[in-house]
């Protein structure tokens, strides 16, 4: 049994998962989680509601809202041509500030940890104040939704991706840049966790293999959605 509890997957401390990839468990406090979760209803009110993006003719099991840009496989557009042709909501300023804070904290956490030589910040190629994300993909996972292993590669700018998790815990599989296969690590992303991947990890394959129903803390429960998980990823499209 000792080995079960020694498993890294259950350890919740900030750490470098692979060069360029940093996990910050419990980054958002209770108030911040509640506040961000409450934003969902505004975003859902449109003009472009959450929808299941089609990939190769099949709808994804997650429902997505784009802020700043609308994403379709291979394309970013201001309008949601595959939904209702409306223009998406702007990328919120508070999210830029939050993204910069996450980058800053992630860099600090890595630098502080003697067990982890090699600074993630130096490989991201930017400092927090230069981080200018212009799109957020807000994904809602019901209890059965998943996301297959993929690379985030529709952005032209190599800036890091900042990810925030709210609601139920998921199993987030974070791998390598060569293929969907091993080596990868399964990480339990819980409500309030932040995760940054950039530099050599920017094109790492990743996915969500499972939602763990009913695991959200009280302040992180998505009661207006009947449970499940929200993930927000901020990215820099490099488009205009």
Binding site for ligand SIN (CB under 6 A): 137, 139, 147, 163, 172, 189, 206, 208, 231, 233
**Residue 154 in the binding site for Mn ion (CB under 5 A):** no
Considering beta carbons, is residue 163 or 237 the nearer one to ligand SIN? 163
What is the dihedral sign for C-alpha 11, 161, 199, 109?
negative
Considering beta carbons, is residue 83 or 208 the nearer one to ligand SIN? 208
Residues touching Mn ion, count (CB under 5 A): 1
Q: Which stretch binds Mn ion (CB under 5 A): 23-31, 111-119, 151-159, 186-194?
A: 151-159
At 161, list the tokens: 């991706």
Closest residue to ligand SIN using C-beta atoms: 231
Considering beta carbons, is residue 85 or 98 the nearer one to ligand SIN? 98
At 50, list the tokens: 């959450």
Q: Which stretch binds Mn ion (CB under 5 A): 48-56, 68-76, 148-156, 175-183?
A: 148-156
Q: How far is the CB of 207 from Mn ion (least distance, A)?
A: 8
Which three-class secondary structure string do you get for the chain? CHHHHHCHHHCCCCEEEECCEEEECCCCCHHHHHHHHHHHHHHHCCCCCCECCEECCEECCCEEEEECCEEECCEEECECCCCCCCECECCCHHHHHHHHHHHHHHHHHHHHCCCCCCCHHHHHCCCHHHCCCCEEEEEEECCCCCEEEECCCCCCCCCCEEEEEEECCEEEEECCCCCCCCCCEEEEECCCCEEEECHHHCCCCEEEEEECCCCCCHHHCCHHHCCCEEEEEEECCCCC
Q: How far is the CB of 218 from ligand SIN (least distance, A)?
A: 22
Q: How far is the CB of 152 from Mn ion (least distance, A)?
A: 4
Considering beta carbons, is residue 77 or 152 the nearer one to Mn ion? 152
Q: How far is the CB of 150 from Mn ion (least distance, A)?
A: 6
Per partner kind, with CB cut-offs from 5 to 8 A, the member of Mn ion, ligand SIN, none near residue 172 is ligand SIN
List phi, psi (to 5°) of 66.
Answer: -100, 135
Per partner kind, with CB cut-offs from 5 to 8 A, the member of ligand SIN, Mn ion, none near residue 147 is ligand SIN
Choosing from 152, 154, 157, 185, the residue that interacts with Mn ion (CB under 5 A) is: 152
**Chain residues that interact with Mn ion, rule: CB under 5 A:** 152
């Amino acid at each position: 049994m000792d080995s079960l509890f020694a498993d890294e997957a259950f350890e919740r401390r900030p750490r470098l998962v692979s060069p360029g990839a940093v996990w910050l468990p419990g980054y958002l406090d209770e108030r911040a989680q509640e506040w961000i979760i409450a934003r969902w209803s505004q975003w859902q009110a449109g003009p472009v509601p959450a929808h299941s993006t089609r990939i190769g003719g099949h709808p994804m099991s997650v429902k997505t809202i784009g802020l700043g840009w609308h994403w379709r496989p291979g394309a970013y557009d201001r309008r949601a041509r595959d939904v209702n042709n409306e223009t998406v909501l702007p990328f919120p300023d508070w999210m830029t500030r939050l993204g910069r804070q996450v980058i800053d904290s992630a860099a600090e956490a890595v630098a502080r940890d003697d067990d982890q030589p090699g600074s993630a910040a130096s490989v991201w190629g930017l400092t927090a104040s230069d981080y200018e994300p212009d799109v957020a993909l807000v994904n809602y996972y019901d209890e059965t939704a998943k996301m297959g292993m993929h690379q985030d590669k529709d952005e032209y700018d190599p800036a890091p991706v900042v990810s925030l998790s709210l609601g139920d815990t998921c199993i987030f599989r974070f791998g390598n840049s060569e293929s969907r296969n091993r080596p990868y690590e399964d990480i339990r992303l819980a409500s309030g966790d932040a995760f940054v991947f950039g530099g050599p990890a920017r094109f790492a394959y990743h996915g969500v293999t499972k939602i763990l129903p009913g695991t959200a803390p009280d302040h992180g429960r998505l009661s207006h959605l009947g449970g499940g998980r929200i993930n927000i990823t901020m990215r820099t499209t490099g488009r205009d």
